[in-house]
Structure 1
């Protein structure tokens, strides 16, 4: 069956090419996301990889599976993107009427974006994978990956996350097994100091419910009672980062003290609870200002991340909600909008759409 599809695709049959590659599309997008930390960049890299695969299918010799061959192409495109100088820069504070407190530090991974759970590939990782599915897509892990040199990042994801054998990884990267083994050792050492990925608990749902109640009521004291002592807050693409209950409390007090009030709409991102944040306006309408992710550590919240409102469409969330008394049309829980997003090409050159 695969040989027939390859033969037809080589003859210019776009439908055959799509049938050949579609079973791997979702996992390839997740792979590109781990490599790049940005959903939009991942989709761009995936589109480039599929186009390269279409154009280079004549050179496929069958020595590796189609899946492995596609991973090789996608990894190369991601490495090229990582080495490019055009990553999105940090953005200045842009919330009117609010003066943020002094941050604990300025973050460097300002291009980070959340990934909708609805787009995650349900397929299990490879037999040699060292990371569980949830940890392998968590924001803490993806952020830590971005700090690795590009080649070490590629080796660690291919070996420890996806479970590809060392020989296959060496072939993907035009390298040797010894070089891959050395890069993997350095990459693992580079991750040792990262923040651990906490686990949830049976009380997690109750904690999230209390978080929503406190946030929507602008109750800073109730919010702080839910946080760990070393809670961490970030807000890409703004580089401001706050570490500890008191700094996070001062930030929340500045937001709520300016009179800003929000309604939260639940979704999920990177295997954890997330919420579209909608600012209440005097007219009664509510404007989408961002997406907040919540990381749980037992019965407390250990991390909060706030992303810009531009990511809301990826989660199937609208740019605004109507005022009270008017029904809002929201996606069913767990559903995400299809990519690419606004302003990005929906098709590739060449026969058909991939």
Structure 2
């Protein structure tokens, strides 16, 4: 059947090409996202991958599976995008002032964007090779994707193909037009680099299972505290080293006391929010809507929570441009 579809697609049958590639699109989108850290850039890379596959199908010799061939194209398109992005001048931030407290640090990955859980179905439950070392849910988390972004592009690609997807070293070498020795060396360096960025597993308790009563209870407590501007209740949910990040702005706030002062400033200014639950990167998330005197509540952003045990260790705020990706409206009617 696949051979017939390939033959028809080579003859210009677009429907046959769609049937060939459709089963792989969701996992390829996630792969592009892991490399690029940006949902929009991943969408662009996926489209470029499909175009290149359509144009290059005549050169597909069948030595590897069609899936492996598509991963080869997608990986190299994403590496090209990473190299092009590096040549772009850094975006300048026109921020007139920073409300107290001062940011603890400036984040490096200002292009980070969230990935809707609705698009993960069928994308992270694919069969993995025997070399895979990471759980698929862990490898889509914001912490993991952020840590990936600071790796050199080629090391990043090798780590994803070997440790996340489980391809053999010789397969990865073929995808990257490299050697097994080079792939093995790059993987060793990538693992060391990633380890420096991610907290050791023993340091944190694992998060409660998605959709479990424990997760539901913790998330409900957060929503109640945030919507009622109850600072004490909010702080009680945080770990000592909790932090807030807010890409594309580079400001990050580290430590429970600093986060508390940041939230106190927000609530003290009279800003009150309604939250609409969703999920991003396998994590609980909320669309945030600012209450206004006129009644209409305007979307101000998306909050993604990172949980550990029965506490919240991070909150990442994205701007309101991402709301439509989650099926969330730009505004809510008055109540």
Q: Which digits, 9 at most, give the CA deviation of each residue in 1:215-247, with x for residues without a partner?
A: 001111111110000002100000000110011
* Range with greater deviation from structure 2 (252-261 or 188-197): 188-197
**Within the alignment, does 1:260 sit opposite 2:263 as a pair?**
no
Confirm or deny: 8 A CA contact 1:89 1:237 kept in the other structure: no
* Structure 1 residue 313, shift from structure 2 partner: 0.5
* Structure 1 residue 255, shift from structure 2 partner: 1.1
Unmatched 5+ stretches in structure 2:
none
Confirm or deny: 8 A CA contact 1:114 1:269 kept in the other structure: yes
Query: How is 1:65-76 mapped onto 2 (pairs within 5 angstroms)?
Result: 65-76=65-76
Confirm or deny: 8 A CA contact 1:90 1:238 kept in the other structure: no
Confirm or deny: 8 A CA contact 2:129 2:168 kept in the other structure: no
* Structure 1 residue 109, shift from structure 2 partner: 0.2
Confirm or deny: 8 A CA contact 1:204 1:298 kept in the other structure: no
Q: Distance in 2 between matches of 1:93 and 1:207?
A: 34
Partner of 2:154: 151
Higher helix share goes to which structure?
2
Query: How is 1:1-354 mapped onto 2 (pairs within 5 angstroms)?
Result: 1-84=1-84, 85-86=87-88, 89=91, 91-93=93-95, 99-120=99-120, 121=123, 122-196=125-199, 199-201=206-208, 203-324=214-335
* Structure 1 residue 207, shift from structure 2 partner: 1.3
Q: Distance in 1 between matches of 2:56 and 2:115?
A: 29
TM-score scaled by structure 1?
Answer: 0.88
Q: Distance in 2 between matches of 1:212 and 1:38?
A: 26
Q: Which digits, 9 at most, give the CA deviation of each residue in 1:269-319, with x for residues without a partner?
A: 111100000111111111011000011110110111000100001001010
* Range with greater deviation from structure 2 (248-257 or 118-127): 118-127
Confirm or deny: 8 A CA contact 1:128 1:159 kept in the other structure: yes
Q: Distance in 2 between matches of 1:318 and 1:23?
A: 30
Confirm or deny: 8 A CA contact 1:267 1:276 kept in the other structure: yes
Q: Distance in 1 between matches of 2:156 and 2:74?
A: 14
SS of the equivalent of 1:133 reads coil
Confirm or deny: 8 A CA contact 1:89 1:110 kept in the other structure: no
Confirm or deny: 8 A CA contact 2:113 2:247 kept in the other structure: yes
* Structure 1 residue 92, shift from structure 2 partner: 4.3
CA root-mean-square deviation: 1.6
